[in-house]
Amino acid sequence: MSEAEHSSIVRDMIRQVWMRFLEPDQVIEVRILGARLFENARGNTMSGYFNDQTPLIEELAKYPHYDGIYFTLNPIDPRLLSRSENRIQDAKSGGSTGDSDVSSRRFLVIDLDPVRPSGISASDDEVVDAANKAEEVLAFLDGQEWPDPAIALSGNGIHLLYRIDLPTDDAGLVTNVLQALSDCFSDDKVHLDTSVGNPSRLIRLYGTMACKGDPTDERPHRFAELQYVPNSYLPVSHRQLREMAALLRPDRREDLQRVPRAVNALDVPQWLDSHDLEVRSEKPWKGGTLWVLEACPWNSAHTNGSAFVAQFPNGNVIARCHHESCQGRGWDELRQMFESPKPTSGQEFATPSNTSPAIQAAFRRAANQKRTKR
Ligand SMILES: [Zn+2]
């Protein structure tokens, strides 16, 4: 990738962050870990406060080499701007944004990170695992009537960014929601990070690279990039958050079975039967049901039980085939094979970076989950 292409990605993504995420006059802290002017120089932690995207883009251009660049997503005390106004400088001890500097919570970040040794970038397959997991979480929360989140590649995994509107001191609600979701969805391949619930949490700045370890063919450095931001970006209600935290508590896990099924929930066995999709086996799955198909609907040569359809107790459905050639195919594609396409909504961004086709396909499927629902 040329330097010009690189800087145009940085510019576009930072503009999107500014336009779609931040409030008017919001101040953010931007922190660069391992900042260095030359590839092999010793890295420094640098920091600055910004209320304008133009100087931020100019300042970032001065540091072509870094481990990672992060920003504060929630609104912070605008007076902190005077610490380092629209410029990057060496981070001073005690000069970083604390929880008490945050004025409110505006985002619930669901960070799905592939399980791997620390200090290395994820492989493409691992990012696809995270995207598959994101699709499950999206389908479940969509079934709980949560509004649409923004969806982003974090560089090594996936971010689902739900809007919320809570005070800084939320009595642990955000952390409890993350813990509940992690209990339900984390597995040995993908981890739902429960440590990102503090209000002053920094997340990777979209448009910058995740540079964990050395970039190799198998484990490349990738851009963090926004893939989808809904046109009407509405907050999840307090009630929905409280219900989620309570619903998934370990001692109430069996209550998942009793989640009221949406009245218009699809009768999956009947749907499969009416479209001649034979079921090999059926098993309980996250409080709902999973049906393993006799043959893959997208490639009839896949007959080793690789394809399945699963339904959450709230009625929402996902579908997938484990074969590599079926990456990117999901419930949306399956429905469209038999039914007419649904109208789309929301805004999608072009994929400007060097991600693999499998990752792009997995993303598209996760975004389609939102864009064509109901
Ligand atoms: Zn298949």
Rounded Cα gap, residues 65 and 209, in angstroms = 10
How confident is the model over 165-213, as pLDDT tens digits? 999 999 999 999 999 899 889 999 999 999 999 999 999 999 998 888 8
- pLDDT of the residue at 365: 63
Residue 123 CA, ligand 1 centroid: distance in Å: 22
Instruction: Report residue 52 as tokens.
Output: 């304008």
**Cα–Cα separations (whole angstroms), residue 282 to 60, 137, 310:** 53, 21, 9
- Of 97, 119, 132, nearest in space to 203 by CA: 97
Residue 295 CA, ligand 1 centroid: distance in Å: 8
- Of 202, 125, 201, nearest in space to 156 by CA: 125
How confident is the model over 171-184, as pLDDT tens digits? 999 999 999 899 88
Residue 181 CA, ligand 1 centroid: distance in Å: 29
- Of 269, 272, 307, 264, nearest in space to 288 by CA: 269
**Domains of the chain, residue spans:** 1-103, 261-356
Q: What is the dihedral of CA 224, 228, 233, 234, to 10 degrees?
A: -90
Confidence of residue 149 (pLDDT cuts 50, 70, 90): very high
Rounded Cα gap, residues 212 and 296, in angstroms = 37
Count the helix, strand and coil residues of the chain and give each as a percent rounded to the nearest 5: 30, 25, 45
Residue 235 CA, ligand 1 centroid: distance in Å: 37
**Cα–Cα separations (whole angstroms), residue 354 to 2, 158, 221:** 12, 16, 9
Q: What pairs with residue 32 in β-bridges?
A: 46, 69
Confidence of residue 11 (pLDDT cuts 50, 70, 90): confident
Residue 139 CA, ligand 1 centroid: distance in Å: 21
Residue 186 CA, ligand 1 centroid: distance in Å: 25
Residue 304 CA, ligand 1 centroid: distance in Å: 9
How confident is the model over 300-316, as pLDDT tens digits? 999 999 999 999 888 88
How confident is the model over 215-266, as pLDDT tens digits? 898 998 888 988 888 888 999 999 999 988 887 666 655 555 455 556 668 8
Residue 303 CA, ligand 1 centroid: distance in Å: 8
Residue 332 CA, ligand 1 centroid: distance in Å: 15
- pLDDT of the residue at 254: 56
- pLDDT of the residue at 5: 79
Q: What is the mean pLDDT of residues 32-61?
A: 92
Residue 318 CA, ligand 1 centroid: distance in Å: 14
Residue 17 CA, ligand 1 centroid: distance in Å: 37
Residue 194 CA, ligand 1 centroid: distance in Å: 33
Phi (first) and psi of residue 54, to 5 degrees: -65, -50
Kindly list the protein residues that place their beta carbon closer than 5 angstroms to ligand 1, a single-atom ion.
296, 299, 302, 321, 323, 326
Residue 361 CA, ligand 1 centroid: distance in Å: 14
Whether the model clears a pTM of 0.85, i.e. scores above it, the answer is no
Residue 156 CA, ligand 1 centroid: distance in Å: 25
Residue 355 has pLDDT above 90, yes or no: no
Confidence of residue 110 (pLDDT cuts 50, 70, 90): very high
